[in-house]
Amino acid sequence: MRRRLLLSVLLVICLPGSTGAQARSANQLRFCLGSEPKTLNPLLVADDASETIRYLTGGVLLRLNRQTQQMEPELATSWKASRRGNAISFTLRPNVRFSDGTPLTAEDVAYTVERLMDPALHSPTGDSFRASEGKVVTQITGKNQIAITFPAPIVGLEKLFDQVAILSAKSPKKEMAVLGPYYVAEDKAGSYLLLNRNPNYWKHDAAGRQLPYIGSIRLDIQQNRDIEMLRLVRGEIDFINSLSAEYYDKLVAQAPRMAFDTGVGLDSEQIWFNQVPGAPLPAYKKAWFTSTNFRRAISLSINRQDLARVVYRGHARPAVSWVSPANKFWFNARLQPHPFDRKAALQALAQDGFRLQGGTLRDRAGHDVEFSVITNAGNKAREQMAAMIQQDLAAIGIRLNVVTLYFPSLIERITRSFDYEACLLGLVNDDLDPNAQMNVWLSSAENHQWNPSQKTPATLWEAEIDKLMRMQASTEDAMKRKQAIDRVQEIAWQQEPFIYLVNKDVLSAVSTSLRNAHPVVLRPQVYWNIEQLTLGTEVARSR
């Protein structure tokens, strides 16, 4: 009896299902989440894993097409934003039902907006709509029509609705009743989530077949990227949404058809000098850091091409501006990256009285030019970039000390004590609208990193940026806004308060069995067109 029991246990252990290599059901898409979703409530999403679930299950009024970067109608067949930008009205698609069969009505939209703006809920999505104090008014103007009025204008109002998944006001299933292509069928904490096709999903293809094509999605929680890669190559998962350059190159060597370099993304890496007047730094260093010539010289001494080629293995581009070239409308295409030119750097330094003596750069008063750059410990790419910049600056006689700090310590230094000289960090950017960076570019902003929370602008060019940013935030005229943002980019390019280093490429891996996948730079890179994706078997059947 005991022997038979032992044999049974061994059999269970040896079964593929218990080792993570579970036999997959037909027409099931599989991929990994780096962590467990913190919430399944679409209004409370604040992490990547929860955002994935919201994208796959949530039905929205308007959707940003990740490929064309244009807004498209979803649950709303049409919409109209007011000229002031403080109101928007929607006409809802008729005969749409939630996954549990409850019909979609204008009351559901009103209920969602009410919940979204409820201060007690602390919805991160709702924060984007809180331009000022005051009540948001929803008015049902017809059977399928609703108007929403905000207390103050909100720039890019319609784009914000891409994040608002409509909830049912009446369904007993609350937020688990969804309007998106899938619904959560199973949530095994710490292990996996299973999403099944929404039987009431409203979209159909040209042949009248209900979308999505793929029947279910299994999302395995997997933190180890190495295992994720091995599983992809073995065919146990269908894609990896975001890859590091290192893994991308390894994949190209083994399975080139699976690797996708979609091109430059929205994120940037930059270095900046501490220009805070009250910072605990010697006066002569403050004078260096506030000098445009000094910052320009540092910028000219950094070989950005090498950073992109060595650190990101060629999967990055020298950065130009705070708006990435991936942002088709807002990027100022007239600007070019600063060249790598040591001679020009030394000329710029000479204008401020710096001179190179015996391989060491000295300022007018004879101080050796030495400063430290802090970055967050554990970020391999940033540590490598700092080491490369260290060598680049050594070539013009500058000694750079690289200091890696525990992230909270770093944040303490750059936001409170200001006890640092230069900092190397990156900016993760999800929003195409540059207005999202008001909190960086206004001189009064807390995230105006080089000199935050200024009472009045410290320089004339910061005053001009303030004026331009406020102007673009107060108009809905896209061309006027574009002109203002272009000019802000020019000023930032000339003054270099942030020395932009590289924009990383968006890298993905997609199994050859997954069809219709066209990875894009915007999140979610691979499954943005989830309804159109098919698996090899499914394609054969549909044909």
Angle ∠(215,219,220) on CA atoms, nearest 5:
140
Euclidean distance between CA atoms 236 and 384, whole angstroms: 33
With respect to other proteins, which residue has the nearer C-beta, 243 or 530? Answer: 243
Shortest distance, CB of residue 378 to other proteins, whole angstroms?
Answer: 5
Euclidean distance between CA atoms 374 and 399, whole angstroms: 14
DSSP letter string, 300-328:
HHS-HHHIIIIISTT-EEE--SSS-TTST
With respect to other proteins, which residue has the nearer C-beta, 254 or 347? Answer: 254
Residue keyed to tokens 């146990």:
236
With respect to other proteins, which residue has the nearer C-beta, 177 or 281? Answer: 281
With respect to other proteins, which residue has the nearer C-beta, 377 or 471? Answer: 377
Shortest distance, CB of residue 402 to other proteins, whole angstroms?
Answer: 4
Shortest distance, CB of residue 398 to other proteins, whole angstroms?
Answer: 13
Euclidean distance between CA atoms 435 and 35, whole angstroms: 30
DSSP letter string, 204-261:
B-TTSPBSPSS-EEEEEE---HHHHHHHHHHTSSSEES---HHHHHHHHHH-GGGEEE
With respect to other proteins, which residue has the nearer C-beta, 128 or 301? Answer: 301
DSSP letter string, 21-55:
-PPPPTTEEEEEESS--S-S-GGG--SHHHHHHHH
- Contact at 8 Å (CB) between 338 and 303? no
Residue keyed to tokens 């104090």:
133
With respect to other proteins, which residue has the nearer C-beta, 29 or 388? Answer: 388
With respect to other proteins, which residue has the nearer C-beta, 31 or 202? Answer: 31
With respect to other proteins, which residue has the nearer C-beta, 48 or 370? Answer: 370
Euclidean distance between CA atoms 535 and 24, whole angstroms: 12
Shortest distance, CB of residue 308 to other proteins, whole angstroms?
Answer: 11
Give 187-192's long-range contacts (Cβ < 8 A, gap of 24+): 187/40, 189/36, 190/36, 190/221, 191/220, 191/221, 192/218, 192/219, 192/220, 192/221
With respect to other proteins, which residue has the nearer C-beta, 194 or 227? Answer: 227
Sign of torsion over alpha carbons 242, 244, 248, 250? negative
With respect to other proteins, which residue has the nearer C-beta, 412 or 476? Answer: 412
Rounded alpha-carbon distances, angstroms, from residue 224 to 162, 230, 283 = 31, 10, 47
- Contact at 8 Å (CB) between 465 and 443? yes
If DSSP codes are grouped into helix, strand and coil, which group holds residue 197?
Answer: strand
Shortest distance, CB of residue 473 to other proteins, whole angstroms?
Answer: 37
Shortest distance, CB of residue 312 to other proteins, whole angstroms?
Answer: 11
Instruction: By CB under 8 A, name the binding residues for other proteins.
Output: 226, 229-230, 233, 246-247, 250, 253-254, 306, 309-311, 313, 370-372, 374, 377-378, 380, 383-384, 386-388, 390-391, 401-406, 408-409, 412, 419-421
CA 253 to chain centre: 28
Shortest distance, CB of residue 273 to other proteins, whole angstroms?
Answer: 13
Shortest distance, CB of residue 253 to other proteins, whole angstroms?
Answer: 7
Shortest distance, CB of residue 47 to other proteins, whole angstroms?
Answer: 23
Q: Distance between terminal CA atoms of the chain?
A: 53
Query: Interhelix angle for 460-473 vs 478-495, to 10°?
Result: 160
Shortest distance, CB of residue 353 to other proteins, whole angstroms?
Answer: 22
Shortest distance, CB of residue 105 to other proteins, whole angstroms?
Answer: 51
If DSSP codes are grouped into helix, strand and coil, which group holds residue 371?
Answer: strand
With respect to other proteins, which residue has the nearer C-beta, 70 or 409? Answer: 409
391 burial type by CB count under 10 A (0-12 exposed, 13-18 middle, 19+ buried): exposed
